[in-house]
Amino acid sequence: MPKAPEGARVRREALAQEHTRKSAVAFISNHLSHHRFRKHAGVFAALALISVLTFLLFPLRQFRIQADGSEGMVASHQRGTGALLRQAGVQLQAGDRVEREEGAALAVQRAVPVALEADGRVLAWRTRARTVAGALAEAGVALGPFDSVLRDGLKAGPSDRLDLPPLLVAAQALGLRLAEDPDPVTTLPEQVALIVRRAVPFTVVEGDQPRSLLSSQPTLAQALREWDIRLGPGDEVEPAVSSSLTPGLQVNIQRAQRVTLSVGGTETVFYTQERTVEGLLGEAGIVLGGTDRVEPPLEAALSADLLVRVYAYAEQQFVESETIDHGTVYKLDPELAEGETQRVVGTDGVLHHEYVVTYEDGVEVSRQLVNEWYDPEAADTVVYFGTTDRVQAAQTLPDGLNVARVMNVYATWYDPASAGRSSSDPSYGITSTGVPVTKGIVAVDPSVIPYGTRLYIPGYGFGEAADTGGAIVGNIIDLGFPDGVSPGWMPRWIDIYILGP
């Protein structure tokens, strides 16, 4: 379309038209003054008169023409829409519409070529509708709730515009949001192809609950998505989701159950179609041993989020051994001379314990003693002696005393007052084991005589190793007495008797 003329060109055209008008007026005046007219002179005069009247009644004006996304100016004596558009080089097609705006302005609205396929019919026309819904309304095609429309192979909504370029059509189909409404396009599409897909009925059976649905999607997968029917891991669908959606199609969905299988403390999540614990173990490839245990039992039904535990049992039989120290006993031998002794050295014994231990998932859950024996048995050292002071001491031992061994020690004595603490001290008279000092409490070196050892000290009586002290080292003992009692004990070396249980 020609562009708007510049000012100089417009002025030249105006001057030329004024000159022509004046010449015509002069010509008419000259010829009217003649008395003789020729026949053709009258016609010429009429034409000239019309031209003059046109110039006088319709002076040269500028018109703004808007068409095909561009705008231009045309200077013309014409007032007709068709003449102005022809002068501007704008050609109208079927369905196009021209609107005269206020003032000297014309706007051309182009029709969009459309090909519509719906309900077995194919229609083609040019439309000034700017949306899919408008075009369908012109064709008398109504959409049902689940019907859909394809525009050039892409899903379109009723409010989608027909005059958009392909790129914006694809953006709409993908659900992309435009920053703002697009401007009117300068070039309309050659043809917009619309296809109406009618919804078809189909049934989804899930458990005992059938659902009758409608969809116009081409495949079962798309129809299920449209109805927000989501498939999870392990779910089974018949027919396959890639199948075409056909009228009356019955779709069976079998949901998988999510269960957790714990074997040996390691947990694994399964989405399974199995219905019992036994079936789950078979699917997981778990073969139970003779001592293995399953919770819940094999015949139990699976349920959502169930935890199935397989406890792997193992038994182990082993022997633990401990050394039994031998003791020392003294025996009178009348055949030995006075002061003569004879020692028969004993040996330590070994006590064996046989256990059966049961493990569950590698953790010991029970231990059973099934047998115990000595191999070898302990043999005490026997000291035989003749009639000496020791014999006399031995003869004074209480009856039934179980002497484990005899030990030669240096025995002193002490009482609470001699322990070095003030009588106001809360620890006054308290031994290292927490018992008060009194007759029968003996301080020892625990590395030599362990705490709790029962003793018999000739001249003192029974005692228990229940205290210690800085000066009590090795074979030294301290015999306890209460405050205010005269012990009458002289420190000396003496044989004491370590008592057995």
Locate the domains of the chain by residue range: 7-108, 112-197, 200-254, 257-305, 315-381, 397-499
Residue 2, preceding bond cis, omega within 30 degrees? Answer: no
Whether the CA torsion 217, 220, 225, 226 is positive or negative: it is positive
Per CATH, is 315-381 categorized as 3.30.70.20?
no
Q: Do domains 200-254 and 315-381 have the same CATH topology?
A: no
Angle at 80 between CA 75 and CA 81, to 5 degrees: 85
> Which of 379, 377, 373 lies closest to 320 in space, CA to CA?
373
Low-confidence ranges of the chain (pLDDT < 50): 1-7, 10, 24-25, 27-28, 31-37, 39-40, 51, 54-56, 185, 387-395
The reported pLDDT for the residue numbered 496 is 92
Q: Would you state the structure tokens that stand for residue 305, as one six-digit string?
A: 């989020």
In CATH, which of 3.20.20.150, 3.40.50.2020, 2.40.50.140, 2.40.40.10 is domain 397-499?
A: 2.40.40.10
Sequence-distant (≥ 6) Cβ neighbours of residue 63 within 8 angstroms: 73, 74, 75, 76, 84, 88, 104, 105, 106
| Assigned fold of 200-254 | Ubiquitin-like (UB roll) (3.10.20)
For 30, phi and psi rounded to 5 degrees?
-65, -45
Classify domain 112-197 by CATH architecture. Answer: Roll (3.10)
The pTM assigned to this predicted structure is 0.47
